[in-house]
Chain A
Amino acid sequence: MKKTLNIFSINRWYYRLSLSQKKAVWGIVFLLPWLLGFLLFFLKPLIESIYYSFNKVKVIEGGVQTEFIGWENYIRAFKIDPIFNRLVITMVISALPQVLVIIIFSIIAAILINGKYPGRSLARTIFFIPIIMGTEIASTTLVGTDLVSQELVGGRGIEAFSSRIILDVLIHTGLPTEIVGFVSGALNNIFFVLANSGVPTLIFLAGLQTISPSLYEVAKIEGASAHETFWKVTLPMLSPMILVSTVYSIIDRFFKHATMIDGIRYGMIDRIYDIAFRQANYGLGAAMATVYMLVTVFIVLIVSLLISKVVFYYD
């Protein structure tokens, strides 16, 4: 008896809400499972690690021991660490043009593999290959585990592998080293774009597939040329996806950023990992990660503000 009463009271409570309140209730119900996981596995670690960046951290049995030291970790990251500030600067400077090229290339690639022609699933698979090639095991087999070959080509996965083979061939032909260097540099860039445009291409492809065919029919009836159809129909309908892909690419680029300093290759994430775990200076590592995040947030904020000016949304 008591139980049924309870259900009725919940029912009554629900029906007394206004429409927007009902929607809010449903919104929270839908959001809740994900939000719980997010708070537990992401937000809490994130805040903790920002907190650790202001502390001297010692990992002891069953937890960590902290000692507050203020901004010292940040000052060390910029003033004493010889690598970190250069990594941050090269990261920002090199990523932006790269992202621009990656986005343009992946829009073109997505449009090309979206057409209707025999064997297009083969074409799509071919364009998907770089994503798999970027994974750890595939890249170690291709490039080889020896440090010499990794340093020689300065890359991982498909880009490194392909340019290494071509480098071998070119050196054997006996061409002057300047020409070999130039050609392999250019090829490296091509492979670089190819290897990084996998996920953006997939996003654009999915975006293209949600555009209604009737829009193209209308454009055709109105006599629009292919050129006009692209600029007036395809691109505006794709523009939200351009925002998504750009944000993704910037983050991805920053995450994979690596550069040569004094003949040694340093990666952004590797450096943070190195400091935090191998040198056991967790506080400094956390400070670097926080700086890295703030830089990323700043860049993404500017870029997405610029892009969202031209993004076209339905209603």
Chain B
Amino acid sequence: MAPFKVSTVSLEKKQNLRIKYKRAPNAFIKFFTNTRSNRSVWGNILLVAFLTFLAFLFLFPVIFMVNNAFKPLHELLKFPPDIIVRTPTLNNFLELRVIFQDSVIPLSRYIFNTVFILVIGTAGQIIFASMAAYPLAKYKFFGSEVISRIIVLSLMFSPVVTAVPNYVIISKLGLIDTYWAIILPAFAATLGLYLMKNFMEQIPSSLIEAASIDGASEFVIFWRVIMPSVKPAWITLFIVSFQTMWGVTGDMYIYKENLKTFSYALGQIARVGIARQGVMAAVSLIMFLIPTITFIIAQSNVIETMTTSGLKE
């Protein structure tokens, strides 16, 4: 009898120990991943280590960039470069301000141009792409198949070569030296439509039928049923579109200096050469920060709304 009892006690102890050993790191990991804990402990630790490694690889250039913006010139030109700044200064930004004070066109004008193009271009691209994607995804009518095919086809053509015909059309429409030369072609971008169409195809048709039985008009269905249920898609489109519109220089269509964009002005300043290395570092930090901040805001918006509404049945 005795040996049996002893062995059970030790087994229990062992099991308790194992549970203790297993749970302690898992609680820690669970805090980070929120997965069910039937994955092995070492698997989880490996995963977090791998992710941290990736995050480091991603963050490394950013750290370098931020530090660069605050480096004095002699530190910038050092080889091999230091990652962390030794004597941080604001000189680079001050110099940038001086350059803009000296320029004929005030800084606010460049910023206004960029904001105007960004807001109208991005909003229009999302609205028109979604409006066009809805019938293509959910209706069948004469020509809808052909249009879908052409869209995918047009994604594959290099925009470099359409530059000359594009210029001819835009100048014939009298759009040279206006914001619309940049904004109108952005409305017709196909990538957004392709993305939206693919997301809308996943919405069950029964949802649309239910709405129309309840008496919703087509426009109400689009605005109140379709658009909320593909919110992650158009937020993604917003991020991508903001990113491209932010970088637009428009130097092909806009020649008047007071209509040029902020990123064009920054690019011109940075392109002068080695003497403006410091200003260039400041410029690239600004160019980097604004899309990043937009991304953070847009993404947190997705998180808040989408966790509650998965509309796929």
A binding-site residues for B, Cβ under 8 Å:
20, 23-24, 26-28, 30-31, 33-35, 37-38, 40-46, 48-49, 52, 59, 63-64, 112, 115-118, 120-121, 123-133, 135-138, 140-142, 158, 161-162, 165, 168-169, 172, 190-191, 194, 199, 202-203, 205-207, 209-215, 225-226, 237, 240-241, 243-244, 247-248, 251, 254-255, 268-269, 272-273, 276-277, 282, 285-286, 288-289, 292-293, 296-297, 300, 313-315
Known interface pairs A43-B150, A141-B284, A300-B152. Does A27 touch B141 (Cβ–Cβ under 8 Å)? yes
B131–A34 CB distance below 8 A: yes
Instruction: Choose one: B31, B156, B184, B199; the contact of A251 (CB below 8 Å).
Output: B156
Is there contact, CB below 8 Å, between A117 and B236?
no
Q: Tell me, yes or no, whether B15 is within 8 Å of chain A by CB.
A: no
In the complex, which residue of chain A has the Cβ closest to the Cβ of B30? Answer: A117
Q: Which residue of B lies closest to A47 (CB)?
A: B165
6 contacting pairs across A/B (C-beta < 8 A): A38-B188, A45-B166, A121-B296, A165-B60, A169-B80, A269-B158
Known: A24-B141, A140-B270. A300 touches B156 (CB 8 A): yes
Chain A residues near B206: list those with CB within 8 A. Answer: 315
* Secondary structure class of chain A's binding surface, majority of residues: helix
List, in ascending order, chain A residues with CB within 8 A of B310's CB: 209-215
Select B132's contact among A24, A30, A190, A241, beta carbons within 8 Å: A30
Q: Which residues of chain A have C-beta atoms less than 8 A from B47's C-beta?
A: 112
Tell me whether B4 is interfacial, beta carbon within 8 Å: no
Q: Measured between alpha carbons, how far is A1 from B119 in the docked complex, in Å? A: 42
B276 to chain A, nearest CB (A): 11
Give the distance in Å from the alpha carbon of A269 to the alpha carbon of B161 in the complex.
Answer: 9
Q: Name the contact of A209 in the complex, choosing from B144, B187, B302 (C-beta under 8 A).
A: B302
Bound: A132/B58 CA distance, A: 11
Q: Which B residues lie at the A interface, using CB under 8 A?
A: 31-36, 38-39, 47, 51, 54-55, 57-62, 64-65, 68, 80-81, 128-129, 131-132, 134-136, 139-142, 144, 147, 150, 152-158, 160-166, 168-170, 184-185, 187-188, 190-191, 193-195, 198-199, 201-206, 218, 222, 229-230, 232-233, 235-236, 239-240, 243, 247, 263, 266-267, 270, 280-281, 283-284, 287-288, 291-292, 295-296, 299-300, 302-303, 306-307, 310-313
